[in-house]
Structure 1
């Protein structure tokens, strides 16, 4: 008695040869297009024909066979300190897109702040689980950084630079902070609070330097009572904003939190104090996205294309893995001021 649903029938799948035949090209051309390799130029019409054939045949690469042939995993690792932070989720989305375009998968490792499991991250970097690592961390003493320096695979830092790791894709933190501060100073603010990150990572140092430099250039003295370490969380931003408001004899008219999540916390604290944004306090921050647009009022930001950072980091890392280039050598990405409803000129004194 015949059965159309035999295991053999269920496992039949399209091969690269099938895709090449359907598209009318040789196997090597189909392989290059499907792996995103651009060593030889392929006409756009041919490229699209190959992609259409792969989709129609529901082609899925055989990663196991490919890995055995190449002695590689075709997997990138990305290590992030916070999974609930929209900055890192955007970064992961961009990295996954870049990896997928080049035929790689992405393994996500969460390194919580204060994590001490250094061995786990050494194993990730040395046990043939990944071909390369993308790393972003808030702490210069992070266990993952110590592991990365011992890694047997290429490493690219995201969103910062670190001594001992030469490949980085990042934004110039000091310049982002200067752009934010110049916007506030241009509106007439002189008492501007800064909710800073820890001052050991390059991100925290850079943004504080931009805050300081913009004030000095405008001839405004820094008031230490207006600077408070918030870290990079909503709770940290709220606590730091409350501390500034409680101790300032002359309250600020504007605040520059280090990042979007800290800004969300600052907005909560400001509103709990019965203050209005921007009438009583203007708020500007670095990073942008749905959270900034959803807040009331929507936040003015210095936009950084975080997903592009993840994408460029993944593509650069794969190029290093596959020998197309030696490194990405501290690639800088562009910044953009996005003015929304959270910033305005300060109210005249006495009103």
Structure 2
């Protein structure tokens, strides 16, 4: 008897019509358009808070779920934003992604993240995301001279660059002040008394690598050190292993640098490895400065002095800029530059006399 009743209940549940926006409106005694606004993160502010809360409670009680497909047919938008990541395993990228996702979620959008990694085809990934019906794209992978920018422009898809720039500044972008960050690092070391300062540069085909190296060299020149030996070694990738190899070459120079500025924190950790391999201590023998202030660099030994870029804010700004482009594709092409901050920790000290 109990099994029969249970089966009947399951059948009624299975065949019951899916609750609609009109059902929610009827329960609350409001117009369906009011329900639509109250349940939309982007329009909820148009409805009185108590009414919006009552509508949300009624929707939950009825089991109403927004039909994204139907909404997409009505509006011509999917509510999906693509994000092309350079390497999802890089500890510096998740804070940027978090900023993007937080802002988009608050506006009723969801993100699809595609990881290019080391072997990925950017054009293929972009085409796949477009096939999923994305409303816009955040690119964190662009090189200085990159065909993917032309491909995106040809697709007429709203696109914003984050953290990296293309040489022609053809797309809206949000990035840190790379040259300014290097200036903070060099000025800090010069103030400590360092005169032999080396640089582990990032890949020169990427804007962060090229612009940070340019900022490093310009800052040494402003400090009156340009005529001295200016040791720079380039790492082919932003990895700890590449930083170690570049730092070993720097440490083999005569005279040896008393301080090293790395183009990012992973490279700086590679510098730590190189110092250990040579039996040198940081900061007693060589001071080290990183760039980005990625998570946990305050927990290494010694804690890393680094240039902080507001990565979460950068992601939020990129998402905001992209939504502006979706709303007004012909709007102003903005290029936002976020100021850096020097975070002084235990990896820098005056050089030995």
Give the shorter-chain TM-score range.
0.7 to 0.9
CA distance in 1, matches of 2:51, 2:234: 51
Report SS of the residue matched to 1:292: coil
Question: Which residue in the other structure is 2:238 paired with?
Answer: 232
CA distance in 2, matches of 1:72, 1:207: 39
Residue 221 of structure 1 and its aligned partner are, at CA, apart by 2.1
Q: Does 1:245 align with 2:273?
A: no
Q: Does 1:133 align with 2:122?
A: no
Distance 1:60 1:318, change over 3 A: farther
Report SS of the residue matched to 2:174: strand
Q: Does 1:321 align with 2:326?
A: yes
Question: Which residue in the other structure is 1:67 paired with?
Answer: 72
Question: Which residue in the other structure is 1:260 paired with?
Answer: 265
Distance 1:23 1:283, change over 3 A: farther
More divergent stretch after superposition (226-235 vs 314-323):
314-323
Q: Is the 8 A contact 2:264 2:291 kept in 1?
A: yes
Distance 1:255 1:6, change over 3 A: farther
Q: Choose the corresponding residue for 2:128, options 116, 124, 128.
A: 124
Gaps of 5+ in 2: none
CA distance in 1, matches of 2:340, 2:40: 31
Residue 273 of structure 1 and its aligned partner are, at CA, apart by 1.6
After superposition, the C-alpha distances for 1:35-92 in whole angstroms (9 at most, x for unaligned) are 333696666x549836974896576432222112222221111112211111222222
Question: Which residue in the other structure is 2:99 paired with?
Answer: 94
TM-score by length of 2: 0.85
Q: Choose the corresponding residue for 2:311, options 303, 306, 330.
A: 306
Query: Root-mean-square deviation (CA), in Å?
Result: 3.1
Gaps of 5+ in 1: none
Q: Choose the corresponding residue for 2:154, options 138, 150, 157.
A: 150
CA distance in 2, matches of 1:311, 1:20: 34
Distance 1:22 1:251, change over 3 A: farther
Report the count of equivalent residues.
345
Q: Is the 8 A contact 2:39 2:52 kept in 1?
A: no
Query: For 1:5-154, what aligned pairs fall within 5 Å after superposition?
Result: 5-6=10-11, 8=13, 27-28=32-33, 31-32=36-37, 34-37=39-42, 45-46=49-50, 49=53, 53=57, 57=61, 60-113=65-118, 115=120, 117=121, 119-124=123-128, 126-127=130-131, 129-137=133-141, 139-142=143-146, 144-154=148-158
After superposition, the C-alpha distances for 1:89-135 in whole angstroms (9 at most, x for unaligned) are 222222111221111111112223464x3551352364353111100
Distance 1:135 1:228, change over 3 A: same
More divergent stretch after superposition (132-141 vs 231-240):
132-141
Q: Is the 8 A contact 1:78 1:135 kept in 2?
A: yes
Distance 1:8 1:177, change over 3 A: same
Q: Is the 8 A contact 2:98 2:312 kept in 1?
A: yes
Q: Choose the corresponding residue for 1:160, options 148, 164, 169.
A: 164
Residue 322 of structure 1 and its aligned partner are, at CA, apart by 2.8
Question: Which residue in the other structure is 1:194 paired with?
Answer: 199
Q: Does 1:184 align with 2:189?
A: yes
Q: Is the 8 A contact 1:95 1:311 kept in 2?
A: yes
